[in-house]
Amino acid sequence: MASKPVVLLIPGGMTHNTCYNPLKAELHKAGYETVVAFLPSADPADPLDQSLTAANDARSVYEKSLKPILDAGKDVVIYAYSYGGTVFGNDGPSFVKSEREVRGERGGIVGIVYMSIATVPAGMGQLEFMGGTWPPFIAVDQPKKGLLTFDPIIPSLFNDAAPADAEGLAKTVVGHASRTFETGVLPPLWAERALDGKRVWLFANLDGTFPPDAARTFIAASGVEWEIVEREVGHCAFVTQPEVVAKVIVEAARKWA
């Protein structure tokens, strides 16, 4: 029997990678090894650092998180939400397993489970894709110049959490370098045709950031096919309802393994 794939968890915007601790725990219960990526643009020491770009975020995820898994010849399922799924891609040889096999390489990405992403095409920035103006739930130059944060936080991110839990979760949100949303993304992973039949969109019916109508627009704009899995969860379900998200990931991984 084939070994289970590693689940690579890519955080979204304004999110510290410790946000995935509850989801990691659920996946470990199911017997899945996890790796959590880190985005340099999240809570940066210098928000105005010119190296904080969407492309460099993607390169960092590859170099520090994905590459070691691939070098070990392991299969990978990626779970990413929001900016994490929007930004991740590459401008070199494919990371997808079927493409790596053609090159005589072991392991690779066997499928993706994405949630609440903006399907930004290669070379475009997320801000441009969203019409060139920051959405109403974003506070610019907060908590300091060059950073973004959510405002209001709870309705946008944690509207499906119990009120007492939501207050605590709101304190975990970090500032994010605005420059990364203004710079062009690499050719996105989700757009690769080698992933046809191996894309799941966890459709969050309670999403307070990208509500269902926006999500449907993004799905249509992607130009690729997704398996849509609807759940009554919000934008950050990986922390408010981690057991729900873990089940979707595990069910997909079992099909792709």
Average pLDDT across the chain, whole number: 96
Work out the average pLDDT over 148-155.
96
What pLDDT is stored for residue 230 in this prediction?
98
Neighbours of 220 (CB within 10 A): 9
Residues 31-62 as b/e (b if ≥16 CB within 10 A, e otherwise) read: ebebbbbbbbbbbbeebeeeebbbbbbbbbbb
Q: Is the pLDDT of residue 1 over 80?
A: no
Residues 96-132 have pLDDT tens digits of 999 999 999 999 999 999 999 999 999 999 999 999 9
What pLDDT is stored for residue 257 in this prediction?
83
Give one DSSP letter per residue of 110-179, joined into a string.
Answer: EEEEEES---PPTT--HHHHTTSS--TTEEET-SSTTEEEESSHHHHH-TTS-HHHHHHHHTTB--EETH
Q: Is the pLDDT of residue 16 over 90?
A: no
Model confidence, pTM: 0.96
Residue 162: which pLDDT band, with cuts at 50, 70 and 90?
A: very high
Distances (CA, A) of 46 to 41, 139, 180: 9, 18, 13
The structure tokens 């907060």 sit at: 142
Kindly report the backbone phi and psi dihedral angles of residue 65, in degrees, each rounded to the nearest multiple of 5, phi listed first: -120, -50
Q: Is the pLDDT of residue 152 over 60?
A: yes
Q: Is the pLDDT of residue 143 over 70?
A: yes
Residues 219-234 have pLDDT tens digits of 999 999 999 999 999 9
Residue 17: which pLDDT band, with cuts at 50, 70 and 90?
A: confident
CB 240 within 8 A of CB 206: no
Domains for the chain: give ranges and CATH numbers: 6-256 (3.40.50.1820)
Tell me which H or E stretch contains 256: helix 242-256
Q: Is the pLDDT of residue 35 over 90?
A: yes
What pLDDT is stored for residue 2 in this prediction?
65
Kindly report the backbone phi and psi dihedral angles of residue 68, in degrees, each rounded to the nearest multiple of 5, phi listed first: -60, -35
